[in-house]
Amino acid sequence: MAERGRYRTKQQEIILECLKNRKEEFCTVERFMEYLRQDGIQVGQTTVYRAMERLTEDGLVVKIPSVDGSKAQFRYIGEEINPNVGKLVCLKCGTMIPLECSRLDEFYRHIHEDHGFLLDQQHMVLYGYCMRCQG
């Protein structure tokens, strides 16, 4: 039985399938809506927003939040990256790198002990610029 509030509707399944077909690309909800229309699929914008947020929470999609007034962008990652580790996400090209580093345990411990804040390693996303985009 599905976890309460965690069932999937037919529209959510369609949205997920469309994301999988475009997994190499980050896109805004508006751009994604264009893809759905091109595929002959009619889904409300609110439904798409809710689906994207839910899929982000579920770890199937990564979200690049608004930067400098631009709109948030989403990309399907599915099982590409170990779901139990965080991610490094390039704000320019969208490259994702698993956040697996032997020094992170010390960082997590410092944040918890000195700041009283427990980080959720699975949902940690650090945004910046990859080596390729730094130049």
| pLDDT value at residue 123 | 74
- 60: alpha, beta or left? (left if phi > 0; alpha if psi -120 to 50): alpha
* Domain limit, last residue, from 48, 63, 79: 79
In the structure encoding, which two tokens stand for residue 44, read together? 């409300």
| pLDDT value at residue 7 | 67
Q: What is the pLDDT along the chain (135 residues), one digit of tens a residue?
A: 344 456 678 888 888 888 888 887 888 899 999 999 998 998 999 999 999 988 888 878 888 776 677 788 888 887 666 656 778 888 788 777 888 888 888 888 999 999 999 988 777 888 889 999 998
Task: Give the domain CATH number at 96.
Answer: 3.30.1490.190
Question: CA 37, CA 120: separation in Å to the nearest integer?
Answer: 37
**By residue range, what is the domain housing residue 29?**
1-79
Task: Give the domain CATH number at 27.
Answer: 1.10.10.10
